[in-house]
Amino acid sequence: MTVTAGFSIRRLVRLLVVGGAVALAGQATAGENPRDPYEGFNRAMFSANETLDKYAARPVAQAYDAAVPLPVKASFGNFFGNVGEVWVGANNAMQGKPAEAGTGVARLLINSTVGIFGLFDVASEMGLERYNEDFGQTMAVWGVGDGPYFFFPVIGPRTARDTAGWAVDTMADPVTFVRPESVRIGTAVLRFVDIRAGLLPADKVVEEAALDKYAYIRDAYLQRRRNLIHDGRPPRLDD
């Protein structure tokens, strides 16, 4: 699922991307990792994001996690999952997986009716699997390579292909069409907080496991994307 938080953040991101591109043109030195040629820039963005997270996102997510009872959190998660179901189905169809695309539509129908607009994930209990698909994965299936790795504040890690995919996902995101704007932003912020809260247990593990947190997160992201593109069964890479 993509993280979206209304138009203002998107504008900020566009600014950062453009600003970043200008900065990169100035310092396009080859990094040590061929997949991460703009490592210096990315590390700067990463530490900016660490500060943002420490003082804003994480405290809010922790408060949400502590205050909201589990069934309500589960309902939010199911609702946002349901909202994304059509787009996941569309991506499955574009990747040539009609059966999975059909499952997505069936999930939406079941969860929107029996599950009271997706607040309860009845479809999963019925054995209809939820798929994780987005336009970046679809482009990968079409043969588009990763491109360089980037780290954006708020949005987090993305390869060049997945940044473009994310832009398309955002345009197709039902939350984008919600009116009035205050409700749209409220929904987007709630979704952001819900996703961040879901990542809280991973914080400590990464903190303790990593020799270099930036590299640990980058390589985990690249592995995770590779796994998603291969629908959970990537070929093994060994020396």
Partner 1 sequence: MKRLFAFVSFCLLSCAAFASEAPDALVKRVSDEVLEIVRADKDIRNGDMQKIVALVDAKVLPHFNFQRMTSLAVGRDWRSATPAQKSRLAEEFKMLLVRTYSNALTGYSNQRIVFKPFRMKDGESEVLVRSEVVQPGAQPVQIDYWLELADGKWKVYDVVVAGISLVTNYREQFAREVRDGGIDGLIASLATKNKSLEAAAAAKTARK
- Site of interaction with partner 1 (CB under 8 A): 32-33, 70-71, 73-74, 77, 130, 132, 198, 201, 204-205, 208-212, 215-216, 218-220, 223-224, 226-228, 232, 234, 236-239
Between 7 and 216, name the residue whose CB sits nearer to partner 1: 216
Q: How far is the CB of 8 from partner 1 (least distance, A)?
A: 28
Q: How far is the CB of 151 from partner 1 (least distance, A)?
A: 15
Q: Please, what's the largest Cα pairwise distance for the chain?
A: 56
118 Rama class: left (phi>0) / alpha (psi -120 to 50) / beta: left
Sequence-ordered list of residues with C-beta below 8 angstroms from that of 45, at least 6 positions apart, any chain: 16, 20, 150, 151, 152, 153
Q: How far is the CB of 22 from partner 1 (least distance, A)?
A: 28
Nearest partner of 158 among 142, 173, 147, judged by Cα: 147
**7-21 as b/e: b if 16+ CB within 10 A:** eebbeebeebeeebe
Between 16 and 80, name the residue whose CB sits nearer to partner 1: 80
Q: How far is the CB of 77 from partner 1 (least distance, A)?
A: 6
Between 50 and 203, name the residue whose CB sits nearer to partner 1: 203
C-alpha neighbours within 13 Å on the C-beta side of residue 232:
4
3-state secondary structure of 105: helix
3-state secondary structure of 2: coil
Between 99 and 237, name the residue whose CB sits nearer to partner 1: 237
Q: How far is the CB of 71 from partner 1 (least distance, A)?
A: 7
